[in-house]
Amino acid sequence: MTNKNPIRLPPLRVLRVRHANRAETNPCITVMSSVLACWASAGYHGRGCTTVEQALRACMDAPAKPKKGSNTINYHLARFSKRLIAQGSKNK
């Protein structure tokens, strides 16, 4: 053992790894914007927009992807942080 004191890190206010709420992107948003652009340029009943409208319908009718299970790391860190902070304050 050495006589040097160990390095102490400053305490953290909140333990957090990942942002909890991330906005999921809509896969049909690009097709919808092209439909709106086509309607703006050719009018609502424009004949050139039918292929883009059909692509939007196909995208909207496609089955939705199953949602991923949420990661629980932040939940567990919040639970354990109470114990860590309580233990750290006793040592002071």
- For each of the chain's 92 residues, which pLDDT tens digit applies? 566 777 777 776 766 666 656 666 788 899 999 999 998 988 877 788 889 999 999 999 988 777 777 777 777 777 777 777 665 555 55
Q: Tell me, yes or no, if the pTM score tops 0.95.
A: no
Calculate the alpha carbon distances from 9 to 1, 6, 12, 88 in Å. 20, 10, 9, 12
What does the alpha-carbon distance between residue 6 and residue 70 come to, in Å, rounded to a whole number?
37
